[in-house]
Each structure stands twice: as C-alpha cells, then as structure tokens.
Structure 1
Amino acid sequence: MAQEQPQGQAQEPDIFDRMAAQAAGVEPPQPLSKEELPALAERALSAQNASKTPPNVRQALQFLLAHGWIESATKPKLFQLIAAHTTLLDALLEPLDLRVLVDDVRGLAFLAVVPGYAGDDTDESEQDDWTHPLMKRQRLTLEQSLLLALLRREFLQREQESGTGAVVRVTVDSLLPQLETYLGSTGSDMQERKRLTQLLENLRTHGMVSEVDAQDCITIRPMIVHLLNPENLQTLLLRLRALAEQGGAQGSAGNAEGTP
C-alpha cells in the first residue's frame, strides 16, 4: 500500500524519475531545504523591486505634479535629480500627455503639455473651455497680462546686464509709473499702489513673482519667460491694439454726435 506524502514536505523523485533523468542526461531536481527557501523568496522580491521606479525619482515626480515647477535656488537636489532623469520622467508622464522641460541656465524645471495633446484638438468655439485634467490654462485679466509683460521686459533687461540666470529683484515703487503709463492714473497714489499690490499678488499665485519683502521689493521668477512666450505677447499686443481702436472709434462717434 502506498503511503501518503505528509503535507509541507517536498516529494523525493522515485526510481523511475531518476532512470529517465539519467537516460536524458539531466540531473533530477533536488528538493529545496528549509535554509534555501528564504533566500529564494528574497531573490524573487529583489527582482520585482528592481523594476519599480526609484524612490528619489518618484519623490521628484510627485513634487512636480503637486507644484508644476521647481527652481534650483530653492530645491537644488530635486532639480539636479530631475535634470538627470528627464527621459525617465517623460516616460512616466507619457500616459498623462505631460513632459518635463528643463532650463539649465536659469535653474528651472516645469511640467508642460505635450505638443498635439488630444484634448487641445477642439474647434475655435470650444477653445475657451479647454482644460487638461492636471494642467489648466491660466486665465489672466488684461491688467495682469500687461503687468506680466512689463515684468518680463524688466527681467530680460536685467539678464542682459548681469547675465542669464541672475536673480532679478525690483522695487514696487519702480513699477508704479510704468503701469500708470498704460492704465492711466486714478488720481490717488494710495489707489494706484493698492491696484499694483493686488495685481502682484495675483501673479504670485501663478508663480511669476515672490512676495513683497521688507525692502518693498519683489523677485521676478524665471518662469515668467516661459509662460509669457512670444506667441502670448503677440496675442496681448493684438488685444491692446483692438482696445485702442475701439476707444478711438467711440471717441470719433461721440465727436460726430456733438457736431451741429
């Protein structure tokens, strides 16, 4: 009568298995000992973990997804990690239609929607409603866009003087006359400063400037160069021209109505 094999024990190969293995020139399989089982499980776990994203790269990717950009001035280690693993990060972001752009000179890395994003393939009537699930288009008023253009010009002028990558700081008072040139004077210094302060705060939430410090200065972020690119500047210029022509046409109509 054949004896039942106790559970939990490896079954020894019988005489027929040994004879077949010897005839084929193959050594019969040997059962694993209790000491070898933990080592085998550890090797299998190590092989599985080797295919996972490294923890530091995962941390950098999570930071980018949470904030949208990173500067080497504030997070030097994370920035260096992102700059060194751009290809890997792009592969991880590919299902999201996102990619990483790195400005090595200015020490800036940020997320951007890949060209030809499917969600952007809409009719002109639907473009105002376009959004990416993780990267929404930033909506700025005309006054905010105008101040943004003034800050960008200031940023590039300072870079030409001090070199690309230099920290650009300006005083709030120096921006007041520039903004007044385009928006006109309210007749109240307090109202004009309040208007400028509110506009700067709105731009700060978009990562374009820092908070006003104790010296009444702000730092212009390098992200401003990439957000306000030549295409966006051209759109702003056309908008300003249209408003100027509209104002001129209304003025002409008013004069005509008052003519005897």
Structure 2
Amino acid sequence: MPASSDLFDQWAAALRPSAAAADDGEPAPQPRAAPAPATPQPLRRALQELLKAGLLEQAAKPQLFRQIASNTARVDALLEPLDLQVRVDDLRGLAYVAVAPGWQADDAQEDEWTHPLVRRQRLTLEQSLLLAVLRREFLQREQEGGLGVAVRLGLDGLLAQLEIYLGATGSDMQDRKRLLELLDKLRAHGVVSEVDAQDQLTIRPMIVHLANPENLQALLVHLRELGQAGASRAS
C-alpha cells in the first residue's frame, strides 16, 4: 500500500502542467482567479436595507446611509447584474435605488416603471395630483428654510389644496377618507410619513426624485384649468 505522502505527491503533480502537454504545444491550464473579497458586513447590512425599502435616509439611519454614500462604486457593482444603481442626494441626506440608464425593456413602449425589480407601480391620476401638490409644498419650504429642513403639513391645509383640483364631495368625512387613502398609497413610495395624532405628516425628501417635475407641473396647470372651466359653466 503506498504511503500517504505518495498520494499528496500525485495531487501536486496533477496540478502542475505536464511536460507532454508542453511538447504538444497545448496551452498550459491557467490558474483560477482569486475569489472577489467578501462584502464587509456593515456594507452588506446597508445594501440589504437599501433594497428592502428602496431608499435610505441619513436622518433615520445615519450609519447605514454613510456606508452607501461612501461606497457608491462598489454598491453599483453589486447592483449591476440587476440593472439597478444607487443614487445619492448628499444635500438632502438620501440614497435611493434607480433603474440603470442602460436597461432595455422587452417592449420598446415600456419604460423604467416596468423593470421587474422596481417595487413602485404607476400612479393614478389622483395620486399623481397629490404628489404634485406635496412636491410643490416641499420645494417651497426648502426655499424658505434651506435644504434638509423637515417639512410638516397639516391635513386641513392639504385638504383645502386638493379640493381646488378634485372638488369637494359634499361630506367632510368622505373628503378626509379620500385624502387618507391617497396618502397611504403614497406612503408606500417613501414620500410621506404616517399621519400622527395631531393630524400632521412629514413630507420626505424622496418626493423630489419620484416623478418628473415638468409632468407634475403640467398636470397641476391642466387640472386647475379644468376646474375653472367647470366653475364657469356652473355659474
């Protein structure tokens, strides 16, 4: 029975290119590439949180946000097989996932909203309207108080703005219910907080990046014109 050292010698010989292979002109087998270094645990946790919610706010999770903001190139490399990338808004303390510019849908008529890993769905007309109103309010408060200012808004003031475009149902309870349902849908997109016990909510900085501002402004103008035309006919 051969000694155990002979077995190890056989394994070592098998790993070395043979002289016969060299004589035949065949290329010597290439050594395996070293495995990529493992993703550090703090960055791993930050990336998991980013993908879970679609965004990270510095105010809520400063350490995780710092991991993403200081390692954007590595995060993009990790997201590249998914056709996603991270975008960081340093001024507002926000990191969020976006569809990579090179992504192509199967149907030429489709856009980034149809990416299979994008959680958000297309907004309805009423949701888009409320988004436009909230976005305008957020930007106005930023102009007054500076970037990064916390923007809070009461339900009563928001109801009054929404009625300019949608009109009132004739029931305060129904108007409030409609608004709360719309806010709940938008909350899933990370643009507003829950309504608190004082009937106030916080507009979150993701609202600046969620939709095309020109489209939202055009929507507001169009709906305001429709409302004015309807009021003129009624009078």
**How far off its partner does 1:145 sit?**
0.9
Task: Report what 2:118 is aligned to.
Answer: 135
Equivalent residue letter for 1:7: S
Q: Flag structure 1 segments of 5+ consecutive residues without an equivalent.
A: 13-47, 252-260
Counterpart secondary structure, 1:153: helix
User: Pick from 101, 119, 123: which aligns with 2:108?
Assistant: 123
Q: What is the root-mean-square deviation in Å for CA atoms of aligned residues? A: 2.9
Other-structure match for 1:175: 158
Secondary structure, counterpart of 2:4 in structure 1: coil
Give, in whole Å, the separation in 2 of the partners of 1:122 and 1:88: 30
State the AA in 2 paired with 1:208.
V
2:92 to 71, 82, 106: 106
Q: Relative contact order (alpha carbons < 8 A, sep ≥ 6): 1 or 2 greater?
A: 2
Task: Output the CA distance in 2 between the equivalents of 1:210 and 1:74.
Answer: 12
Residues 10-49 of structure 1: pairs in structure 2 closer than 5 A:
none
CA–CA distance in structure 1, aligned partners of residues 84 and 112 of structure 2 = 19
The 1:79/1:49 distance shift into structure 2, 3 A limit, reads: same
Q: Residues of 1 paired with 2:158 and 2:8: CA distance?
A: 85
Q: SS at the partner of 1:118? A: coil
Pick closer, same or farther for the CA change 1:84–1:130 going to 2, 3 Å.
Answer: closer
What one-letter code is carried by the residue in structure 2 that aligns with 1:58?
A: R
Q: Does 1:6 align with 2:29?
A: no
Question: What is the number of residues matched between the two proteins?
Answer: 207
Tell which deviates more after alignment, 163-172 or 185-194.
Answer: 185-194
Higher-Rg structure is: 1
Query: Offset at 1:232?
Result: 3.6
1:68 maps onto 2:65 in alignment: no
| Superposition TM-score, scaled by structure 1 size | 0.70
Native 8 Å contact 1:152 1:228 kept in 2: no
Q: Cα distance 1:129–1:233, how it changes in 2: closer, same or farther (>3 A)?
A: closer
In 2: Cα distance, 1:79 partner to 1:144 partner: 28
Aligned with 2:141 (options 128, 150, 158): 158
Residues 234, 216 of structure 1: alpha-carbon distance in 2 compared, 3 angstrom cutoff? closer
Match of 2:203 in 1: 220
Whole-Å separation in 1 of the counterparts to 2:103 and 2:122: 19
Distance 1:191 1:86 in 2: 45
Q: Residue in 1 aligned with 2:71?
A: 85
Shift of 1:53: 1.6
Q: 1:94 aligns with which of 60, 63, 80?
A: 80
Give unmatched runs, 5+ long, in structure 2.
Answer: 10-33
For residue 225 of structure 1, report the CA deviation from its aligned partner: 0.6
